Chains A and B, each alone.
Chain A
Amino acid sequence: MVPVSAYLILAVVLFGIGTVGVLISRNMIVLFMAVELMLNAANMALIAFSRALNLVDGHVIVFLVLTIAAAEAAVGLALIVMVYRNRETVNIDRFSLMKW
């Protein structure tokens, strides 16, 4: 008998770890994976709400989010490959061309 709020707390912790990862990581690929982790934390919260309300709609939304995460991973990794081909690095601190 685990309460649903325990899963919400787990989702929040995973989201926080993802946020810290986005902030502190300097490798572009690790940063991208931290974004994926945040998406997963949101998915877990959706599934927990879905269970609490006894509705399957949350599962459908999570399914759509997973599809969009797959599309995003494909395009993002293509961008990373392109950037690496031009700049020979994946260090996010080097990409300051648009910095004010």
Chain B
Amino acid sequence: MNLDLIIFVISAAVAVFGATLMIAQRNPVASVLYMILSLVAQAVCYLQLGALFLGAILVVVYAGAIMVLFLFVIMLLNLRGKEDMGPPAPVVSQFTKLVFGILLTLELAFIVKAAPFGGSSTGIVDERSYSFGSVKAVAETLFTDYLYPFELTGVLLLIAVVGAVVIAKKHRQVESSDGRSETPGRAGEEE
């Protein structure tokens, strides 16, 4: 047992544990917190694979910003996991979904097992490399070979920000001619 293997086993176990509890929780806030736990464990795996920059980005942007956005929305909507979710799905349906998920996982695992990458090894103790996957190496590739995709990503982010604001904006109350107020967003609703 060397140190790299121990680190990998612990972080992989924590990542799978967090992901499993994430989908099993009833309370969405606990679900988000387990997702953050899983993401931090995955960031350790990224570091072991030599992706130093992306490991930091995963913790800062994903666990720090996107998951907090989820938390904000959950708290904005005041979801506590106690609202009425209707009767639970039938056992047969749940079991079928679980079996299909496990079958898909097994199938992917067989495909991955056939990939010819068994020889290369990773780690942050023995196989340490500071240059591969560092900020400098990633930036050199990002700003030379992938410059146009990078710029287009900026445009995409702008569109997403504008779109999110437009979608989530409250529709203003429209005063109709007879003085009655109506909300245009609810006009087509049947209930």
> What's the nearest-Cβ distance from chain A to residue B159, in Å?
8
Determine if A54 and B117 form an interchain contact, defined as CB atoms under 8 angstroms apart.
no
CB-defined A-B contacts under 8 Å, sample of 21: A2-B8, A2-B123, A3-B121, A3-B122, A5-B112, A7-B48, A8-B115, A10-B16, A16-B101, A20-B102, A23-B97, A24-B94, A29-B28, A32-B70, A36-B66, A56-B141, A60-B146, A70-B157, A77-B69, A85-B170, A89-B83
Please tell me the size bucket of the interface on A: 35 or more
What is the 8 Å Cβ interface bit string for chain B, positions 56-74, against chain A (1 contact, 0 not)? 0110011001100110011
> Which A1-45 residues have C-beta < 8 A from chain B?
1-21, 23-27, 29-30, 32-34, 36-37, 40, 43-45
Determine if A52 and B89 form an interchain contact, defined as CB atoms under 8 angstroms apart.
no
A interface residues, Cβ below 8 angstroms from B = 1-21, 23-27, 29-30, 32-34, 36-37, 40, 43-45, 47-52, 54, 56-57, 59-60, 62-64, 66-75, 77-82, 84-86, 89-91, 93-94
Determine if A30 and B28 form an interchain contact, defined as CB atoms under 8 angstroms apart.
yes
User: Which single member of A24, A60, A63 contacts B98 (CB below 8 Å)?
Assistant: A24
> What's the nearest-Cβ distance from chain A to residue B54, in Å?
6
A82 surroundings in chain B (CB, below 8 A): 167-168
B62 surroundings in chain A (CB, below 8 A): 40, 66, 69
The majority secondary structure among interface residues of chain A is helix
User: Which single member of A5, A21, A73 contacts B23 (CB below 8 Å)?
Assistant: A21
B5 surroundings in chain A (CB, below 8 A): 1-2
Q: A37-B35, A84-B77 are in contact. Are A25 and B23 (CB under 8 A)?
A: yes
Closest to A37 in B: B19
Determine if A14 and B153 form an interchain contact, defined as CB atoms under 8 angstroms apart.
no
A72 surroundings in chain B (CB, below 8 A): 160
Q: Which 4 A-B pairs have the closest CB atoms?
A: A16-B105, A21-B23, A71-B160, A20-B101
Q: A33-B70, A79-B167 are in contact. Are A74 and B117 (CB under 8 A)?
A: no
Determine if B153 and A19 form an interchain contact, defined as CB atoms under 8 angstroms apart.
no
Q: A19-B104, A89-B83 are in contact. Are A77 and B73 (CB under 8 A)?
A: yes
What is the 8 Å Cβ interface bit string for chain B, positions 34-57, against chain A (1 contact, 0 not)? 010011001001101111011001
Determine if A49 and B117 form an interchain contact, defined as CB atoms under 8 angstroms apart.
yes
Determine if B141 and A60 form an interchain contact, defined as CB atoms under 8 angstroms apart.
yes
Determine if A68 and B98 form an interchain contact, defined as CB atoms under 8 angstroms apart.
no
A49 surroundings in chain B (CB, below 8 A): 117
> What's the nearest-Cβ distance from chain B to residue A89, in Å?
7
A59 surroundings in chain B (CB, below 8 A): 51, 53-54, 133, 137-138, 141
Determine if A70 and B108 form an interchain contact, defined as CB atoms under 8 angstroms apart.
no
| Docked complex Cα distance between A57 and B51 (Å) | 12
Closest to B121 in A: A1
